[in-house]
């Protein structure tokens, strides 16, 4: 264990097989299991748990508390669970991952990504470079979310889905107006194995059916049936997903 320029808080449990870069800041009550690799200039906030074999790249912040507007007298700070990073998770450089998130075993997070509180990311899922996963969102296992996609709050992405680069999820049909809208806040639900093409836009609360396919650039304004292809603005049906592309016919599907 290299210990140069390493600041370790109180009540931490850190395996002596952990490898640290320079200038690592570890706050109180952190747990780091065996064979974890921590890069340079990394900040690990209070209570974070990192399980065996994970790798964290330079300049990343783990376990950030959500900020409330600092002049608010009324909003009470909710107590969040610590950030939990599973076994053999890989996290890129310059990421920001919040307290109250849970990354299951084998998750991969690209550089410059951010993951908010109250998020669970299933095993072996890939979160691309610069992706945002907002709060109260659940992502399944073996999902791929590609570069700069935006997954809004209160969304669901089930197992084996594919979200292409620059896809945009939304959750507010009222764009910030009316008090009543708050009852309807809801992101999209992407059912098992569905795939969303590059730069597509999904309207609030939409359900994308199992194994269906949304073409690049589409704007989806209504629910999509399973195993259908939709394209255009607004998106219209273009037929069935080809048999050989269905999830059940893929070698990696278990």
Contacts of 169 (CB under 8 A, 6+ apart): 150, 151, 152, 155, 187, 188, 202
The token pair that represents 135 in the structure block: 């709060």
Closer to its own copies at the Cβ: 175 or 254? 175
Residues 23, 115: Cα–Cα separation, whole Å: 23
Give the number of other Cβ atoms within 10 Å of residue 208's Cβ: 27
Least distance (Å) from its own copies to the CB of residue 240?
A: 14
Strand order in the sheet with 31-32: 13-14, 31-32, 49-50, 84-85, 101-103, 119-121, 138-139, 156-157, 189-190, 207-208
Closer to its own copies at the Cβ: 217 or 226? 217
Least distance (Å) from its own copies to the CB of residue 242?
A: 9
Least distance (Å) from its own copies to the CB of residue 4?
A: 8
Residue 67 makes contact with its own copies by CB under 8 A: yes
Interface with its own copies: number of residues (CB under 8 A): 77
Torsion of CA 236, 242, 245, 250, to 10 degrees: 140
Q: Which of residues 11-40 bind its own copies (CB under 8 A)?
A: 21-23, 25, 39-40
Residues 175, 193: Cα–Cα separation, whole Å: 29
Q: Which of residues 193-252 bind its own copies (CB under 8 A)?
A: 195, 197-199, 201, 203, 213, 216-217, 219, 232-233, 244-245, 247, 250-251
* β-pair partners for 150: 132, 168
Q: Which of residues 75-94 bind its own copies (CB under 8 A)?
A: 87-90, 92-94
User: Element (H or E) spanning 20, and its range?
Assistant: strand 19-20
Least distance (Å) from its own copies to the CB of residue 103?
A: 13
Among 112, 121, 207, 208, binds its own copies (CB under 8 A): 112
Give me the 113-132 binding string for its own copies, x by CB under 8 A, dash otherwise: -x---------x----xx-x
Among 119, 145, 164, 190, binds its own copies (CB under 8 A): 164
HSE value, Cβ hemisphere, 13 Å, CA-based, for 250: 12
Residue 176 makes contact with its own copies by CB under 8 A: yes
């Amino acid at each position: 264990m290299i210990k140069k320029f390493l600041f370790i808080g109180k009540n931490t449990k850190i395996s002596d097989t952990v490898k640290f870069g320079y200038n690592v800041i570890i706050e109180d009550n952190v747990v780091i299991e065996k064979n974890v690799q921590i890069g340079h200039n990394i900040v690990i906030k209070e209570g974070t748990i990192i399980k065996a074999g994970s790798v964290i790249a330079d300049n990343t912040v783990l376990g950030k508390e959500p900020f409330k507007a600092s002049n608010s007298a009324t909003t009470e700070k909710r107590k969040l669970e610590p950030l939990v990073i599973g076994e053999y998770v890989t996290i890129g450089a310059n990421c920001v991952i919040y307290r109250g998130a849970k990354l299951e075993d084998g998750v991969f997070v690209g550089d410059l990504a951010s993951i908010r509180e109250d998020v669970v990311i299933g095993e072996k899922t890939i979160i691309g470079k610069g992706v945002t996963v907002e709060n109260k969102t659940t992502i399944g296992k073996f999902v791929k979310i590609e570069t700069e996609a935006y997954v809004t709050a209160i969304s669901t992405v089930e197992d084996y889905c594919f979200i292409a680069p620059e896809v945009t999820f939304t959750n507010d049909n009222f764009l910030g107006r009316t008090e009543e809208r708050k009852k309807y806040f809801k992101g999209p639900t992407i059912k098992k194995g569905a795939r969303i093409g590059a730069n597509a836009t999904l309207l609030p609360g939409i359900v994308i059916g199992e194994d269906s396919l949304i073409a690049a650039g589409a704007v989806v304004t209504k629910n999509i049936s399973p195993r259908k292809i939709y394209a255009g603005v607004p998106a219209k049906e273009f037929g069935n997903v080809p048999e050989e592309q269905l999830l059940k016919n893929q070698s990696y599907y278990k």
